Amino acid sequence: MDYEPSTDTLFVVNAGDGSVRLFHGTELEPSGRIDLGEDADNIRVDAAHHRVLVAYGNGAIASIDPDTRAKTGVVILDGHPEGFQTDGTHVFANVPDGRHVALIEGAEVTTHARWRFGETGRNFPMALEQEESRLITVTRDPAELLRLDLSDGALLSRTDTCEDADDVFVDAKRHRIYVSCGEGFLDIFEQRNGYERIARIPTVRGARTSLFSPMLDRLFVAGRATSREPAAIWVYEPTP
């Protein structure tokens, strides 16, 4: 889900039925539904182009006008998109089946370039290091944290990380990266000579979903229920 401030609307994707549900105002009143198709997944508000982007289906990113609440365009990719980001000028999308990052220019509806990183590994979560002009993506099989140059997609480094990663976040204040993995770990990397892992924190198997809030300075990890414990949101306070 993501919040679009100009319309005071929360957009929520539902992978089960391929819909986008809209909730308005502080009371989160249901205010509409947009049907896209199967496997609606990640979502981003692209303020620079006044649109909401939703990854879905076998290889597409839909563009939604937040004012009319209508689908206005579709970017066709080479496979189902996982994590994707926008810097206001470009859209960068992970295409794990194609083992590349798709680069889309502005409001175009075709892939401008494909940044490849090798013949192994499938890239799922993504984050941008805006100050460093770097793109971070994390692969599975093998599990690696990759750092690419935002200007041309050149692979700058690759570092081992935990398996089954689904979220990655940049902590610009501390020059750190947080990776949450279904293997049951939270990996923390710090910028030194490249990025080095400084901690591996046990969570619970299946705890892949997380959210880092720079404003709250907290990392939230969604822990699945086990035979001994109910489902919970685990809250971590970075130090120092």
If you average pLDDT over residues 95-121, what whole number do you get? 91
Residues 187 and 226 in one domain: yes
Where in the sequence is the domain holding 219, given as residue range(s)?
145-240
Of the residues 74, 99, 116, which one is the last residue of a structural domain?
116
Residues 107 and 166 in one domain: no
Of the residues 116, 135, 167, which one is the last residue of a structural domain?
116
pLDDT one-digit tens code per residue, 185-240:
999 999 987 899 999 999 999 999 999 999 999 999 999 998 888 999 999 999 99
Helix, strand, coil content of the chain in percent (nearest 5): 5, 55, 40
Of the residues 96, 116, 136, which one is the last residue of a structural domain?
116
pLDDT one-digit tens code per residue, 52-76:
999 999 999 999 999 999 999 999 9
Residues 151 and 96 in one domain: no
* Phi, psi dihedral angles at 6 (to 5 degrees): -65, -25
Q: How far apart are CA 20 and CA 76, in angstroms?
A: 19
| Eight-class DSSP state of 203 | -
Residues 199 and 162 in one domain: yes
For residue 104, what is the domain's CATH number?
A: 2.130.10.10
Residue 233: per-residue pLDDT: 97
Helix (H, G, I), strand (E, B) or coil at 49: helix
What is the overall mean pLDDT for the chain? 94
Among candidates 176, 182, 191, which has minimal Cα distance to 162? Answer: 182
* Phi, psi dihedral angles at 49 (to 5 degrees): -115, 10
pTM as predicted: 0.94
159 lies in some domain: yes
Whole-angstrom CA distances from 176 to 165, 182, 192 are: 16, 20, 10
Whole-angstrom CA distances from 51 to 45, 103, 202 are: 6, 18, 38
121 lies in some domain: no
Residues 150 and 92 in one domain: no
pLDDT one-digit tens code per residue, 126-140:
999 998 999 999 999
Residues 6+ positions from 20 with CB-CB distance below 8 Å: 11, 12, 13, 14, 33, 34, 35, 36, 40, 43, 52, 54, 64
40 lies in some domain: yes
Residues 106 and 173 in one domain: no
Domain count for the chain, please give it. 2
